[in-house]
Each structure stands twice: as C-alpha cells, then as structure tokens.
C-alpha cells in the first residue's frame, strides 16, 4: 500500500480527543472522606474543580477560572477548603488561591504583584494553617510565610538566609530543614534546632555538584530526617539521618535506578512504600501493613499504579492507573475489602481505539555507554517491505527522563503513521549519576551524539526510512531539534521546536531572578557564561542558523519566563536572513508550553500538516480552532 493511501481500517483519532481537556481527572477525597473532588471542564471548556458529596448525586462546580484552567489542587486539612496555584498567561508568577466548598468563595491568599508562591507544607495536626514560599522581599529567593486559613492572614515565618531553594517543615509545622545551593554547584542540607527564637542554621549534609540529594520528610517524633541521596552510591537512595548525631542508614536503594515515588502516611509520616522507575514503575513495600494492598493493586489491570490520596482514617485510597494504550483510570480502593471501584477514566473516548503499544528498548552509544528509551511503532505500518517514517521525540529538562505509558503526542504520531523513538540520552535523570554526569558540558556534544545514535539504531534495525526521520521536542527537546538541523543538517527531514532556546548565552543571561541560586549548577553542568561565552556560543544553534537545510516549525509562548520569546525570534530572523525555510507561531497567552486546549489543538494541527508534507503519513484536516491565540510571524 502506498504511504499516502488512507487506511480506513484504522480510524484517524481526532486531535480534540488527544489534545483537548480531559473529561475528568485528578480525583481526591476530602480528609474526612465526605467529599470527592476532581478536575473537569465547565461549559466554556475551562478546567475547574468539581465536587460531589460521597454517596450522593450532587455534582457541582466550585471554581470559575476565566481562562487557563486549574491543573492541580490540594485539600487543606480543615476539610472545607481547597487550594490551587494559578498564574497569568503563563508568566509563572503563581498566586495561591483558596476555595471554600460550602460558600464557594475564592480568595487570593498571596495577592502580591510579580511574586511567585510555592506550597511548602500542610499538616493534618494543624488544619487551620499552611506554609507558603514567596519571593516578595527579594525576587531571587523565597522566604516562608505562615497563612491562617480561617482569616487569610499571612505573616513572615522564616527568612531565606541566602541560596535556599527548598524548605521542609517538621511534624509540628516548624521550618527545620532547607536545601541551599553552593558556589561550586553543589548543595548543603541545613538544619536548625527547636528554639524561640529559632536556632541558627547549621550544615547537616553536603552534596558536591556531581551528586544528587533532596529532603523527603521528618519522622513523626522529629528525631529522624529522611533524605534522598546519591552520596557514596551511583543512584539516589532513601537514607535516614538521626538528628541526635547517630550514623545515617540506608533504607532503600537500587544500584542502577534513582529512588522515585514514595508512599508516605499523612498522619504517622511513615514511608510505607518506595518506587524505582526502571523500564516501568515498580513499587517496593517497606511497611508490611500495606503489602497486601499493594499486591492487590498490582493486579488491578495492565500497567502502573500510584496511590495519589485518601482519607485521614486510611480506609479509602484514591488510585491512579496508567497504561500505554488507553486512558488513565481512577479508582476508589477500599482497604477493608481490598476491592477497587472505578471512578472514571480521564478520556473515555480512547477506550476502544487502536492505540499503539510502547516498547522499552536499549542500545549502546558510540562510546559504549548503555542508553535506554522507548520505541512506539506506527499503528498503520507503511507495508511489509517499506520502513515507516519516524519522529525522534526528545524530552525536556534535560535533567528529566522519558517514561512508559500513555502519551498524547506519541499516540498522535503513531496514529498518523510515524514510528516514535524516545531516548534517555546522557544527562537524563533517573538512571543514577553516572548517566546524569556524562551529560555535563555536553549540550550539542555527546548528548546530541546519543540522539544521532538513536537514529542509527532506527535505521539499522529497519524501524525507519532514513530519508523520512524528523526531530521534535519541547524546551530542551526544542533546543535538540534546533541542534539537529544546525549541527547535523543532513540527518533529519524536518524539525519541530516548541519553546526551545537557540542561544545558551542569552538563555542564561535572561533567566528569571528566582533561578539565580541555581546558576552555579547550571554553570557546572552547561558552561559558565561569565568565563566561557565562546564555548557556549559554540554549542548554540543560533550561530549555525545558516546551516539549516530542512524545514523547521517553531512554537513559542509570548510570556515564557524560562525560554524568552527572543530565543525563538532570533533564530527565525537569522534563518530568514539566510533565505532558509522556517514557520513560526507565537501564542500570546502562553508561557513555557501550551496550557490552553485551543492553543494545543492549533499547534498540533499545524505540526500535523507540517509532518505530513515532509514525512508523509496521514493528517486530519486542519479545520478552524476557535479561541486560539496564535500569531504567525
């Protein structure tokens, strides 16, 4: 069958199903179990928080967000208020809002223009208070404020001593631990003793720039601090540090994979289970009292599960179940009967569609380093004797990783006839510090070599037509797409970049002020803009824009605080000055990514047509996408 011949046996999944708002998602129980809440669109297709009384049929919408939609929220422990963060058009100056479930009143708890709020702590023993980080005093650092949830009053609790990027409260809701950056790019774990006024900060532990670590929680008696640390090991492991000066002990570890998820009892603070993300998410039970529960959930259905909430009496859990070829399913799990009741799926329209399976894979890089990733074959292969087109889909970060499971972009590409390869290249997180540190100073160097080695793997194994491979990604993935067309201009047939930087020099110099404490680590892992500008330019696609030979599509949020619009403007201008092909879309009400469904559907409609022109494959007609904010420049 010819590559462009429609195959009516495999339906074309509408972009609205893939990139529109979920029908319902993110269910949570109130602390007393009285209410179930979730996110769902209102009659304007804006995501809001909805509520139902348990056992009743009284669904009602609680919020009235005007535009961007609410994407996450938390119950406070008073049982009558929820809190959520919201910014303006993607500027990431988050405000913290509270909504009263009885009156419907919504209050901005942090009404400080230009400041960014961060949730620090809530605790069931202190239901009327919460701790919030705010950079009101100094835009470069966040101090901790104590918020009275009854009155809305807010007062300074802990001033940032300088360089602190993370805080931890003890079991008495006192700020007792902090993560502070060091001039060499490493981190200090700071602790202070209980006193009135609080005792001075002192260093409890340190990590160099090649190590990783962070704070997990205090024990219920405040005698032990649990941390994740790669000190003395390759991968992040769970370590218990006695605060009386005793020797730290390792609680859980894997030699190759970083400690990932943890299941912590909200009242006792006991870490009951931990997860390591290998090819898929795998749980290890530490507390035998939940062993039978986790065993039951492991057999719920094919895929991965997480316990994402529950009531404080620990009778009912909310469970999220993820697979690679279907929607996310949410369950209410009864611990007494060890039975799970389906609440809903996030996108029921996906249930009976022919979705692709994601295959974990691995291959050796050119220098012998083992790389892992995921390959997804097209749902409609080109034919028995014809290799399909393919897209190298590059994750952001870059200090993150790709994981197994349902991904709208992957399914969209596979449904349109393209194979998809996702590579956890060196510099990716999750596989221990050996792989992470192998990416130091290798932006557009060995990190890109790994991606090209992935392309060779596709070709050598017959999984892709070498003439029809594109590169695509967002953030660092967008940068990688630009690198693909400039550093290796003959490899890719086309590239799609969403909010990717084009110059490492201007990226660093235009970073938001609250990134200031992290810039020493950035200098260590990427390059020092003060002393190595020439090196950073040599790793920047902007300065090789005249080498672009293949078509390029760029999407950019006008309010992006991380990768400013200027990053895209300047490479578009350079490419056009050289007479090279580039399509450029700017979304006026977006930041670092596309939050509004109208904008997602518009961008992916354009990307779909773009890929169909340059790779072949199928495409849904573009149609009219009402309400998008794109400007074509």
Query: Residues with catalytic annotation?
Result: 475, 560, 592
Which of 179, 135, 164 is closest to 512 using CA atoms?
135
Distances (CA, A) of 619 to 107, 181, 419, 423, 612: 45, 48, 15, 25, 6
Cβ neighbours of residue 416 under 8 Å, at least 6 residues apart?
Answer: 12, 378, 608, 611, 612, 617, 618, 619
Beta strands at 187-191 and 202-207: parallel, antiparallel or unpaired: antiparallel
Q: Can you tell me the distance from the alpha carbon of 83 to that of 79, in angstroms, rounded to the nearest whole number? A: 11
Tokens of 633: 């420049």
Which of 355, 583, 593 is closest to 473 using CA atoms?
593
Q: Are 261 and 274 in contact (CB under 8 A)?
A: yes
> What angle, rounded to 10 degrees, do the helices at 408-415 and 597-615 form?
40
- Helix-, strand-, coil-residue percentages of the chain, each rounded to 5: 20, 30, 50
> What angle, rounded to 10 degrees, do the helices at 446-460 and 476-487 form?
80
| Residue 278: Cβ-neighbour burial (10 angstroms; 0-12, 13-18, 19+) | middle
Plot region of 588 (φ>0 → left; ψ -120 to 50 → alpha; else → beta): alpha
Q: Are 31 and 311 in contact (CB under 8 A)?
A: yes
Cis, peptide link before residue 576, omega less than 30° from 0: no
Q: Are 319 and 308 in contact (CB under 8 A)?
A: yes
Q: Can you tell me the distance from the alpha carbon of 583 to that of 599, in angstroms, rounded to the nearest whole number? A: 16
Q: Can you tell me the distance from the alpha carbon of 435 to that of 427, in angstroms, rounded to the nearest whole number? A: 6
Distances (CA, A) of 526 to 94, 375, 427, 535: 28, 28, 10, 10
Q: Can you tell me the distance from the alpha carbon of 359 to that of 431, in angstroms, rounded to the nearest whole number? A: 18
| 240-260 residues labelled b (16+ CB within 10 A) or e (exposed) | bbebeeeebeeebbbeebbbb
* 3-state class (DSSP) for residue 202: strand
Which of 422, 485, 429, 418 is closest to 450 using CA atoms?
422
Cβ neighbours of residue 535 under 8 Å, at least 6 residues apart?
Answer: 527
Q: Can you tell me the distance from the alpha carbon of 400 to that of 403, in angstroms, rounded to the nearest whole number? A: 10
Tokens of 472: 């695509």
**What order of strands is seen across the sheet that includes strand 339-345?**
304-310, 316-322, 329-334, 339-345
């Amino acid at each position: 069958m010819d590559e462009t011949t429609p195959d009516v046996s495999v339906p074309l999944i509408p972009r609205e199903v893939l990139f529109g708002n979920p029908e319902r998602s993110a269910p949570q129980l109130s602390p007393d179990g009285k209410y179930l809440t979730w996110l769902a669109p209102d009659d304007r297709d804006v995501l809001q928080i909805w509520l139902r009384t348990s056992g009743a049929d009284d669904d009602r919408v609680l919020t009235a967000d005007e535009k961007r939609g609410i994407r996450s929220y938390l119950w406070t422990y008073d049982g009558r208020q929820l809190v959520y963060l919201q910014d303006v058009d993607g500027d990431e100056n988050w405000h913290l809002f509270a909504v009263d479930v009885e009156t419907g009143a919504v209050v901005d708890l942090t009404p400080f223009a230009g400041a960014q709020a961060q949730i620090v702590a809530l605790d069931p023993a202190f239901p009327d208070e919460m701790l919030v980080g705010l950079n009101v005093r100094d835009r470069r650092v966040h101090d901790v404020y104590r918020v009275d949830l009854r009155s809305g009053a807010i007062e300074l609790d802990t001033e940032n001593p300088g360089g602190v990027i993370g805080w931890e409260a003890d079991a008495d809701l006192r700020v007792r631990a902090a993560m502070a950056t060091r001039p060499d790019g490493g981190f200090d774990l700071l602790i202070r003793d209980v006193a009135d006024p609080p005792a001075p900060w002192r260093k409890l532990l340190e990590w160099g720039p090649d190590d990783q670590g962070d704070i997990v929680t205090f024990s219920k008696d405040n005698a032990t601090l649990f941390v994740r640390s790669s000190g003395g090991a390759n991968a992040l492991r769970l370590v218990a540090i006695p605060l009386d000066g005793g020797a730290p002990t390792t609680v859980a570890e894997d030699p190759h994979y970083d400690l990932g998820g943890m299941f912590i009892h909200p009242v006792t603070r006991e870490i009951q289970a931990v997860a390591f993300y290998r090819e898929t998410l795998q749980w290890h039970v530490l507390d035998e009292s939940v062993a039978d529960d986790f065993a039951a959930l492991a057999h719920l259905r094919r895929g991965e599960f997480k316990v994402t909430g529950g009531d404080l009496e620990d009778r009912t859990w909310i469970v999220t179940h993820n697979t690679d070829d279907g929607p996310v399913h949410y369950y209410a799990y009864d611990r007494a009967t060890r039975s799970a009741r389906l609440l809903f799926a996030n996108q029921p329209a996906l249930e009976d569609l022919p979705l692709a399976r994601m295959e974990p894979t691995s291959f050796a890089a050119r220098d012998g380093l083992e790389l892992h990733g995921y390959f997804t074959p097209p749902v409609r292969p080109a034919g028995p004797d014809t290799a399909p087109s393919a897209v190298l889909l590059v994750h952001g970060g870059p200090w993150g990783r790709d994981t197994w499971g349902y991904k709208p972009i992957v399914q969209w590409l596979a449904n349109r006839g393209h194979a998809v390869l996702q590579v956890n290249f060196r510099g990716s997180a999750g596989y221990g510090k050996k792989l992470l540190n192998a990416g130091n100073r290798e932006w557009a160097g060995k990190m890109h070599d790994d991606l090209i080695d992935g392309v060779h793997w596709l070709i050598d194994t017959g999984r892709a037509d070498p003439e029809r491979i594109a590169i695509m990604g967002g953030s660092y993935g967008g940068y990688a797409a630009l690198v693909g067309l400039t550093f290796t201009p003959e490899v890719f047939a086309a590239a799609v970049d969403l909010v990717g930087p084009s110059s490492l020099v201007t990226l660093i110099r235009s970073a938001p002020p609250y990134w200031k404490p992290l810039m020493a680590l950035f200098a260590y892992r990427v390059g020092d803009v003060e002393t190595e500008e020439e090196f950073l330019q040599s790793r920047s696609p902007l300065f090789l824009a005249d080498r672009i030979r293949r078509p390029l599509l760029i999407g950019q949020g006008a309010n992006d605080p991380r990768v400013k619009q200027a990053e895209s403007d300047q490479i578009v201008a350079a490419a056009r000055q050289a007479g090279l092909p580039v399509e450029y879309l700017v979304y006026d009400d977006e930041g670092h990514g596309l939050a509004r469904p109208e904008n997602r559907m518009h961008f992916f409609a354009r990307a779909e047509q773009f890929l169909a022109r340059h790779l072949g494959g199928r495409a849904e007609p573009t149609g009219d996408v009402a309400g998008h904010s794109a400007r074509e420049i």
